[in-house]
Amino acid sequence: MCELLGIAFNKPIKPTLSFRGFRHRGEINPHGWGIAYYPDTSVQVIKEPIKAGESSLSEFIKNYPRIKSKIFISHVRYTSVGSKSHMNTHPFQRELNGKEFVFAHNGTLHNYKRLSTGRFRPVGETDSEHIFCYILNRIEERNINRWTSEDFRWLWDLLKTINKKGTFNCIFSDGEHLFCYHDEKSYNGLCFVHRKAPFNTVRLEDEDFEINLSEEKEPSQKGFIIATRPLTNERWENFHAGELIVFRNGNIVFSSSNRDAKQFSTTLNEIELNILRLLRQSPHRLSFRTICDNVGLSREELLPSIYSLLCKRYIKQDSRDRVKWDHDDATFYTEPSKRSEIDGLIRK
């Protein structure tokens, strides 16, 4: 299934907390891991075709304090197209107009070899690297040297067209911008959290570890963490299906949904409220399949609302599950610390 991590801040930061949490996602994505960052205008890409948690190199990066960058991209791989090998491990790297681009993707695309990559050539066997080369070819054809709002909208249209060939989440960067696109059918999820002062203590979701961010961050630092699934107990906001968000210097500079980085929606729609009512009425956790049956909606119709509630921290997937959150057998319950708030919402 693969998972993605992106970091976009206004000042160089250490990725230790986010990367520490993200490494655990390699347990169910064991076929490779990689990280890319920009020490200056050049990029450093480190990757291996092994499980992240078994890598001495990823352990070193997790603890090494001198790795700093405004932008990070990381990926853990579950093979779908291409063998388990270094050449097929994300992120991928290419130069265009004196800038080093890096790219990571999850999902599976079909009939992608029909798309011209121009002078850019894939080294490996993956749909991901081919699409990366195709995107760069199209950027070069458009002759983009300095991105404008019209260019961002053109890119959004291009990514939506690629998405028609299958499932497609991607994160890529030119060292200045972080481009993040979420699949039009919400495949596998994509969400983000905004971090700015005053910083609080946060806890990792996949490890019994918490840290006071005020001791790690300068008050002037601000930015966003982007991930397939929430990494911490903070309030994460989900991408809309088919949405492109572009980050630069710790801000949102473009959103195809016209988001404002300072105004994150916390309202719940009627489907989300119905899911919460059902879970609060049940003495036990409920499966995705059971929720669909009781709410009277199909899996595809319910998927965005389940994902939204997970990102907003109103529900949790049971830790005993052996399947991902979007599986029919995944089970959920309401977040205990939010039950008073939930009861107030469903009574309105």
195-234 residue pLDDT tens:
987 777 888 887 666 676 766 677 778 999 999 999 998 8
Q: What is the pLDDT of residues 272-307, one digit of tens each?
A: 999 999 999 999 999 999 999 999 999 888 988 888
346 pLDDT higher than 70: yes
Q: What is the pLDDT of residues 128-166, one digit of tens each?
A: 999 999 999 999 999 998 898 899 999 999 999 999 999
Give the mean pLDDT of 161-175. 97
Q: What is the pLDDT of residues 88-122, one digit of tens each?
A: 999 999 999 999 999 999 999 999 999 999 999 99
Residue ranges of domains in the chain: 3-255, 270-347
Fold assignment, 270-347: Arc Repressor Mutant, subunit A (1.10.10)
18 pLDDT higher than 70: yes
40 pLDDT higher than 90: yes
Q: What is the pLDDT of residues 50-80, one digit of tens each?
A: 888 888 888 888 888 889 999 999 988 777 7
Among 93, 80, 95, CA closest to 32: 80
**Catalytic entry in 2, 133, 180, 191:** 2
36 pLDDT higher than 90: yes
Higher pLDDT, 180 or 347: 180
265 pLDDT higher than 50: no
Among 141, 131, 63, 50, CA closest to 97: 141
Question: What pLDDT, on a 0 to 100 scale, did the predictor assign at position 267?
Answer: 63
The 10 Å CB-count burial string (b at 16+, else e) for 177-209 is: bbbbbbbbebbbbbbbbbbbeebeebebbbeee
Query: Could you tell me if 250 and 211 are in contact, meaning their C-beta atoms sit under 8 angstroms apart?
Result: no
123 pLDDT higher than 80: yes
Among 199, 256, 242, 188, CA closest to 222: 199
Question: What pLDDT, on a 0 to 100 scale, did the predictor assign at position 262?
Answer: 44
Question: What pLDDT, on a 0 to 100 scale, did the predictor assign at position 55?
Answer: 85
The pLDDT-based confidence of 26 (bands split at 50, 70, 90) is low
Query: Could you tell me if 136 and 172 are in contact, meaning their C-beta atoms sit under 8 angstroms apart?
Result: no
235 pLDDT higher than 50: yes
Cα atoms found within 13 Å of the Cα of residue 87, Cβ hemisphere only: 11
**44 CB contacts (<8 Å, ≥6 apart)?**
36, 37, 38
Told to judge if 292 belongs to the known catalytic residues of this protein, a careful annotator would answer no
Tell me how far apart the alpha carbons of residues 291 and 159 are, in angstroms, rounded to a whole number.
32
- Between CA 165 and CA 6, with CA 299 as vertex, the angle to 5 degrees is 55
Question: What pLDDT, on a 0 to 100 scale, did the predictor assign at position 183?
Answer: 97
Q: How many CB atoms lie within 10 A of CB 213?
A: 18
**pTM (2 d.p.):** 0.74
Tell me how far apart the alpha carbons of residues 51 and 48 are, in angstroms, rounded to a whole number.
8
Question: What pLDDT, on a 0 to 100 scale, did the predictor assign at position 264?
Answer: 42
The whole-chain average pLDDT of the chain stands at 89
Answer yes or no: same fold for 3-255 and 270-347: no
Cα atoms found within 13 Å of the Cα of residue 287, Cβ hemisphere only: 10
Domain 3-255, CATH among 3.30.160.110, 3.60.20.10, 3.30.230.10, 3.30.70.20: 3.60.20.10
Question: What pLDDT, on a 0 to 100 scale, did the predictor assign at position 162?
Answer: 98
Question: What pLDDT, on a 0 to 100 scale, did the predictor assign at position 261?
Answer: 45
